[in-house]
Amino acid sequence: MKRSNIVLYIIAIILTLIFLLPVLYIIGSSFKPMNELFSAVPTFFPRKFTFDNYVKAIERGNFLIYILNSFIVAITSTIIAVLINTMSGYALAKFRFKGDTIIVIVILSTIMLPLEVIMVPIFSVLRAFGLYDTLWALIVPAAATPTGIFLMRQYLMTIPDEIIQSARIDGASEWRIFISIIIPNAKPAIATLAIFSFMWRWNDYIWPLIAISSPNKYTMQLAIANFTGEFGADYSSILAMSAISMIPMLIVFIIFQKQFVQGTASSGMKG
Amino acid sequence: MEKQSYKSYKFRQKSVPYLFLAPNLIIFATFIIFPAFIGIYYSFTDMTLFTFGVPEYIGLENYRNLLQDEDFLAAFKNIVLLVVATVPIIFTTSLLIALLLVQPIKGKNFWRAMFYWPVMISPIVVGIIWQWILAGNFGLFNTTIRSLGFESIETLINPRFAWWSVVFAKTWSRAGYFMIIFMAALLSIPTSLYEAAKVDGANRFQRFWNITYPALKPARLMVFILLTMEIFKIYPLVVTLTGGGPFEATEFTVQYIYETAFQSYQIGYSSAMSVIMLLFVTLFTGLNFFLQKGGSDS
C-alpha cells in the first residue's frame, strides 16, 4: 500500500515536469541575451538576465498594438458573448414555444460546422458586410457559441420557475426579469462562460487569419504566427511575444482555476 | 380596450423567447449556416478570389479534379492517419492521468492544475515552444541527447520525426482538458460498487474492466467525438511547429484548403475540398456515435 503510493507521487512529479518544464524553458529563454539564445550549448535558465528581447519586440513595430488589439477583441467579445448566450440559454431553459426543438437542432448543427471548414465562404460574407479587416469581424461572429448557450441553459434550468412567475405577476417586464433576476442568479455560470470566452478569443488564430490583413489590426497570435513564417524569423522577439501572450492566461487561470475545471467537466457530463 | 391589451400582452409573451434568441440565431445564420450553403454553391463553380459577379457553374468538375489531385489526396490521407494515431493516444493518456488523480494522493488540486495548465496556452505558442525545444542541432532536445552520450538526431527536418512531433505536441497541450472530463465521470461512479467488488475478491484490473470502464461509457463517447473533430481541423499548431513541412509531411487538410483558397486563389476548388472534409467528419463522428450508442450494454 505504502509503496504503491510512492509510485503514484513519482508518476505525478514526472508528469508535472513534462507539463511544466517546456513552458519554463521558453519563459527563461525569452530573458536570454542573443549569444546565449543561439549558443551551441544552451542552458536551461539564462546565465545573464536581460530584457533586450522584450525591448526589441516592442521597438520592432506594433507589438504594443497587437497586445491592445488582443485585449480589445477578447474583452468586447466576452461581454457580448455573456449577454447573448445568457439570453438564449434563458429562452431555451424557461420558455416553451413553437419551433424550440428545431432551434436546438440548428444550434447543435453549428457545432458540426467548424470555422476551419467554412473559412472561404466566411471570408466572402465578411467582405460583403464590410467587416473584412476590422476588429468587429473578430468580436461579433465569435461571440455566439453553441457551447455557451448550452452551458447557460443547463444552469438556468435550476432557477425555480416561481421566482420568475411572481415577478411577472408583479408586472415586471420580461427584459427587467432577465436583467434583475436571471443575470444575478446565473453568476457562477456567467463567470465560467466569461473565462472560457476570454481564453478562446485571446488564443484564437483562425478568425484573425481569415478576417485581418492590415498589420496594425493583428492580434498577438496572428502576429506571432506571421513573424515565425517570415524569412529569417527573429526568434528573440518571437520568444518574448510568446511569453507575454501566456501571461494573461496564466493570471486568469490562477484566479479562476475552479471555474475552468467546472466548465470543462460540465461539457463532458452532457454526453 | 381591455381585450386588446390582454392580446398584446400575450403577443409579447409569445415573442419573448424569439427575441431573446434572436442575436445568437442571427449570428449563426449569417456567419455559419449561410456561409456553409454558399460554400456548397461555390464548390460547383469555377470561382476564384478575383471573380466579380456570378461565377460559372461547372457541375462536378471540381470534385472530379479532386480525385486526381495527388497533393490533396496526400493531405487527406495524412489527416486520417493523424486522427487514427492521435485520438487513441490522447484518449489513453488523459484517461490514465485521470485515474491517477482519483487515487488517494495528497495535493490533488495542485497536480490537477499542473496537468491542466498547458490547455490554456494557444496552439500557436504551443508550436513555438516545441519548435524551440526540438529544432536543430543545438536545441534543448539534441543538447540533452548529446549530454546523455548519444548522437544528435534529425528532428524537425526529418518527415517522420516532424509528424510525430505534431502528435506529441497535440497530446501535451490537450491531455489536461480530457483528463478533467474523465475525472468528473470517474468521481460520479458510486464507491459502493467498488466496495462490493472488493468483497467479491475482484482485483484492481477486474474492478477497472468490469466497473470503471462500462461506467465511463458516456464520457468515453463524448471525449472520442470531441477529440476526433478537434484533430480533423488541426492547423494553428502546425503553422508554428513545422509549417507543414518538411516536404509536406505535416501538411493536413485545413492548411491545404487555406492555401488553395488564399494563395492559389481557387475558391471553387477549395470549397469542394471543404465539402468533402465536412462530409467525412460528419460521417466519421456520426458512425462512431451510432456504433457506440447502439452497443449492447446499458
Domain ranges of chain B: 36-293
Q: Which amino acid is at B205?
A: F
What pLDDT sits at residue B92?
A: 96
Cβ <8 Å between A264 and B180: yes
Of A25, A90, A116, the CB nearest to B235: A116
CA B205/CA B209 separation, integer angstroms: 6
All domains of chain A in start order, with CATH: 1-50 (no CATH), 61-269 (1.10.3720.10)
Fold (topology level) of B36-293: MetI-like fold (1.10.3720)
What is the residue-averaged pLDDT of chain A?
A: 87
Tell me the nearest-neighbour CA distance from A135 into chain B, angstroms: 15
CB atoms within 10 A of CB A196: 22
Q: How many other CB atoms are found less than 10 A from the CB of residue B21?
A: 25
pLDDT at A137 over 90: yes
The whole-number pLDDT of residue A268 equals 43
Residues 249-278 of B with CB under 8 A from A: 254, 257-258, 261-262, 267, 270-271, 274, 277-278
**Whole-angstrom distance, CA of residue B238 vs CA of residue B123:** 8
Lowest mean per-residue pLDDT among A33-37, A148-152, B110-114? A33-37
Which residues 85-104 on chain B approach chain A with CB closer than 8 angstroms?
A: 97, 100, 103-104
pTM (predicted TM-score)? 0.90
Please report which helix (H) or strand (E) contains residue B287, including its range.
helix B267-293
Q: What is the ipTM for the molecules in this complex?
A: 0.90
CB contact, 8 Å: A213 with chain B?
A: no
Q: How confident is the model at residue A84 (pLDDT cuts 50, 70, 90)?
A: very high
CA A149/CA A193 separation, integer angstroms: 9
Give yes or no for B203 touching A (CB within 8 A).
no
Question: Which pLDDT does position A61 carry in this prediction?
Answer: 67
pLDDT above 70: residue A4: yes
Can you give the pLDDT at residue A269?
38
Return per-residue pLDDT of chain B as tens, 298 residues.
Answer: 444 455 555 556 678 899 999 999 999 999 999 999 999 999 999 888 887 778 888 889 899 999 999 999 999 999 999 999 999 999 999 999 999 998 888 888 889 888 988 999 999 999 999 999 998 888 889 888 888 888 888 888 889 999 999 999 999 999 999 999 999 899 888 888 888 888 888 888 888 888 888 889 888 988 988 899 899 999 999 999 998 878 889 999 999 999 999 988 999 999 999 999 989 888 887 777 777 765 444 3
Q: Residues 122..141 of A with a Cβ closer than 8 Å to B: which?
A: 122-125, 129, 140-141
Half-sphere exposure of A61 (CA within 13 A, CB side): 13
If 0-12 CB within 10 Å is exposed, 13-18 middle and 19+ buried, where does residue A118 land? buried
**pLDDT for the residue numbered B298:** 36
DSSP per-residue letters across B184-244: HHHHTS-HHHHHHHHHTT--HHHHIIIIIHHHTHHHHHHHHHHHHHHHHT--HHHHHHTTT
Least CA distance to A244: which residue of chain B?
B125
Chain B contact for A231 (CB, 8 A cutoff): no
Å from A20 to nearest chain B CA? 7
Whose grid coordinates read 484490473? B205
